[in-house]
Structure 1
Amino acid sequence: MAREKVSATLEAAAAGKIPTEFRYWERLWDPRVQRARTMFRTVFRFDPQPSEELVRAFGTAYYQADPVAEAFVDEVYLGELGPKAGRAMLDQALTHGVESVPDAPRSLVRLFEEFETAPEWLDPDLVAQGAAVFRRWGTSVFSFATTSTLEMYSESSIAKPLSYTGGYAGDKAHKRQLETVRFWIDVSDPGGLDPGARGRQTAMRVRIMHVFIRRKLMQQPEWDYDAWGVPISIGDATLTLMGGSVVPGLALWSIGYQTTVREIEATLHFWRYVGHLLGVQPQWYPRDFRESVQLMFAAFVKRAHTAGADGAELVESYLPAFAPKPGTPWRKRLRDEINYRIQIGYTGVWLPPATYARHAMPRRFPWLLHPIAQAPLIFGAETLRRTVPGLDRVADRVQRRRREQWYRNEVGDREADFQPVEEFRR
């Protein structure tokens, strides 16, 4: 059944099929959308409405995934060897090279040929600069990136995979959220994407995890292929990359970070390369700030808001995941109490008020005053960093240490394993 659906997705992509819940054209001339377009044009001094060619490429990408990695998953993980042997084979190839795997399947060799070949557009210096900008945002970007995702949980193509697996709902939400943070830290650490580096290995493990989950989801009779496209599609995955680049680059000005357009474009390039390693390789990936803003405009216009209770559960599971757990030592409990309220503050500031009010969420006041109060301090520190020679390197070391401390306070000594979910909850 899964292989038949894979063939169908390839046919749909070739035919230019677009999911029925991609509602860009029916919503484009809504007066509210046009008012937003006018506001964007005033702020950015260019029209945020993208070309018809970009929108159609974006829409058809909901039927595109990762055929190279999928071939390996189908042959090994879902074949006779099974997930355990597939994981061991993958770990061996990541640690010692694919040539060290005895009788390596052709699908594994092909996967690593692509993985280890630098794309023609790659600029390593720009990747390093983009990673440095992402590190500079410290732990604030962890909170913002997740909060921006909460807004997109209204979309079935995003919410349904997470809801079916249960990974970001209920008690499991904290573990999966922190795995995402570990991924962000690993890929953005200095040299994190170099051959053999931890971030590069993490990217491959996440890539295989996504493919495995996609395959399992495509076997679910509830998955609405016509409305949503394929699970974890190139369309939605590209928006996730935007959530680590242009979106925080603009939004974090609200709490004092001074990110220039050139720096935002560096983060675009950095996340484009991360996406390449993850198997997210659209030809239409934004090349500059203008194109990235236009893609995000299309992403917000096309929304269908059909996720319903599944999306609401994901939104409402986020903040409780940070609440202190019973039986924890008092020092950790105190840190957790503080961090929990900090997360409420960030979410209260960045999540649109209508979305916050529509869900069962903790009271925002007075915790939303925290990000507002720290904005002048961050702005001052950013000004010093930009003007005092050598301070940029000091700030980078400080933020790297703070990120790791924040992560360890949440997970302790436990390491992220990036294991695909074996059983879905429905």
Structure 2
Amino acid sequence: MISIEQVRAKVASQKTQLPAIYGGIDFDRDPERFTHDPKDAVVQDRAPNGVAVTHEDLERVRAYTMLGDVVADAYAMLMPQYGFRKLISMLQEACDHGVEHVQDAPPELVALIRAMEQTPAWVDMDLVREGARLERNATAHLAPYAVRGAFIATFLNKYSALPMALTGTLSNESAARRVNETATFFATTTLPGALERHGEGFKAAAMVRLMHSMVRFNAIRSGRWDANVYGVPIPQVDQMPAGLIPVFLMAFKMIKEGRRTFNAEERARVEVSRYRCFLLGLPEDLLADTPEGIVRMMTARNSTLRRGYDDSTCGELVRATLSAYLPPDKSFANRVHNSIERSFAKTFFLREFLKGDRKIAAQMGVEVTPRDQAIFVLGALGITTRMTAYKLADQVPGLRHVADKVLVKRVRSLLKRYGHAEFTSDASQYRPTHGVAKAA
């Protein structure tokens, strides 16, 4: 693990290495989003279940709150020269055929691909493959109904949600695209071989990474971003929840039960999550490999992120995402599926992320009806039954391979349903936001 001083030096180097993005940011100043007072934070208890968050944990999170993605940001800075579509096509070609086959590949593209190719020694690729295999069951059965609910959970804080609002996700069409792209990325990474160098998951990670860097470049240069309030768009600490929430919840539950060591299956799930995060640019010191370490780092992030809910940003994002129509067409079957899935997602969001608080949900415009709850209960029963059946089949040598083939087929079918993911960020679609206007 690198020292806090080394992290701070890396953060400060953005100003000189990438002046077009970070030249105007004061890295010696904490943004408003970072709080030292736990009473003002998203999570007020810094030592849940006997896990003590250290001063070093808090300082590490403080530093990474201002770190973007140096190699991907450098490539995104070429947009004025190449245009964003050319950057995307070169990146896709580099992922498919190797960067050496990209004609006149800029050195920034070479650096990005090489960084992703350099799998660190701390990654166990056999465990990654096993973790991806184990994730296929939930991806095939639970994810299609839970992804919308999990997605809107990222909009509960105005400081971390603002990039989504700025990029135009307040429209139903854009919200639907972002939900389907998120589902596509995670589903793709569970396919056999997807996380190998020329796999579909490696390419999807590269595209997501570039999209995040395009957001940083466009947001900061748009004049609509107040770094003194919001810090760096999509900093490393805001990518932790998206990549690690499932293993964080698993680790949190383990510690409550008094367990401090992962079993073989849990360890594989953690490893695929850590490697996926590595491909997205997260540093090793944010990717703990023990239950206590995972809980400590996530708690450190949440106990320093200032509470803040702005309805014109957070509320509109939640409502746009809940109103979005996700299926590929308006056939009768798809309209029924969308209605059922939306009811399930609303109840899932209420139970898992709002702790059942209907008053807060209503303030956001999320109204969970008895019908929604009934659909959730019936849906959860069906999902649990199917997942249990496949888990039992996985334990039978003669059935494991057959069951896995069915799951792979199911995941590929879902990917067709989600549609082609573009993973792009077009500055012409950016919109002013009330939050930024207020801060400015």
**Per the shorter chain, which TM-score range?**
0.7 to 0.9
Give, as a single letter, the amino acid of the residue that structure 2 aligns with 1:328. Answer: K
Change (3 A) 1:372 1:338: closer
SS at match of 2:221: coil
Q: Percent identity?
A: 23
C-alpha deviation, 1:29, in angstroms: 10
1:209 to 208, 211, 216: 211
Question: Cα distance 1:171–1:91, how it changes in 2: closer, same or farther (>3 A)?
Answer: closer
Per-residue CA deviations over 1:256-293 (Å, capped at 9, x if unaligned) read xxxx6543432232122122222222523212111112
AA aligned to 1:320 is S
CA change 1:270–1:170 in 2 (3 A) is same
Counterpart in the other structure of 1:197: 199
8 Å Cα contact 1:153-1:311 kept in structure 2: yes
1:235 aligned partner, one-letter code:
V
Label 1:384 to 1:22 Cα distance change in 2 as closer, same or farther (>3 A). Answer: same
Change (3 A) 1:64 1:361: same
Question: Could you tell me which residue of structure 2 aligns to residue 27 of structure 1?
Answer: 39
RMSD: 3.2
Corresponding residue for residue 90 of structure 2? 89
| Alpha-carbon shift at residue 218 of structure 1 (Å) | 0.8
Instruction: Please give the alpha-carbon distance, in whole angstroms, between the structure 1 residues aligned to 2:300 and 2:71.
Output: 28
How far off is 1:368 after superposition? Answer: 2.3
SS at match of 1:19: coil
Distance 2:87 2:393 in 1: 46
Q: What TM-score, normalized to structure 1? A: 0.82
Aligned to 2:5: none
Unaligned 5+ residue runs, structure 1? 42-46, 252-259
1:225, CA displacement in angstroms?
A: 1.1
1:178 is matched with: 180
Distance 1:348 1:155, change over 3 A: closer
- Quote the offset at 1:378 in angstroms: 5.6
Q: Distance in 2 between matches of 1:116 and 1:379?
A: 34
CA contact (8 A) 2:146 2:344 kept: no
Paired residues of 2:145 and 2:344 also in contact (CA < 8 A): no
Partner of 1:416: 421
When the two structures are superposed, what TM-score results if normalisation uses the length of structure 2? 0.80
- Map of 2:435 onto structure 1: none
Residues 323, 340 of structure 1: 8 Å contact kept:
no
- 2:408 aligns with 400
Whether contact under 8 Å (1:234, 1:280) holds in the other structure is yes
How far 1:102 moved relative to its partner?
A: 2.4
> Paired residue for 1:131?
132
Matched, 1:3 2:19: yes
1:394 Cα deviation from its structure 2 partner: 4.3
User: Could you list the runs of 5+ residues in structure 2 that have no partner in the other structure?
Assistant: 1-14, 254-261, 433-440
Aligned to 2:370: 365
Q: How many residues align?
A: 401
1:238 Cα offset (Å): 1.9
Mapped to 1, the partners of 2:195 and 2:289 lie a distance apart of 20
Q: CA deviation at 1:181?
A: 0.8
Match in the other structure for 1:257: none
User: In the alignment, which residue of structure 2 is the partner of 1:246?
Assistant: 248
> Which of 270, 273, 279 pairs up with 1:271?
273
- 2:88 is the alignment partner of 1:72: no
Deviation at 1:64, TM superposition (A): 0.5
Q: Secondary structure at the match of 1:265?
A: helix
Deviations 1:298-317 (A, max 9, x none): 33333423240201111122
Structure 2 CA distance for aligned equivalents of residues 368 and 163 of structure 1? 29
> Is the partner of 1:245 in helix, strand or coil?
helix
Where in structure 2 are the equivalents of 1:335-414 lying within 5 Å?
A: 335-352=337-354, 353-354=356-357, 355-373=360-378, 374-375=380-381, 377=385, 380-381=388-389, 384-385=392-393, 387-409=395-417, 411=418, 414=419
Structure-2 separation of matches of 1:234 and 1:367: 35
Return the offset for 1:63. Answer: 0.7
Q: Say if 1:49 and 1:298, in contact at 8 Å, map to a contact too.
A: no
CA drift at 1:383: 6.5
The CA deviation at 1:323 is 7.3
1:61 matches 2:73? no
The whole-number CA distance in structure 2 between the counterparts of 1:244 and 1:158 is 19
The separation in 1 between residues aligned to 2:346 and 2:403, in whole angstroms, is 26
| Correspondence for 2:12 | none
Structure-1 separation of matches of 2:207 and 2:229: 29
**1: CA distance, partners of 2:176 / 2:41:** 40
Q: Distance in 1 between matches of 2:200 and 2:294?
A: 28
In the alignment, structure 1 residue 425 sits paired with structure 2 residue 425: no
Native 8 Å contact 2:319 2:364 kept in 1: yes
Alpha-carbon distance change, 171 to 291 in structure 1, aligned in 2, over 3 angstroms: same
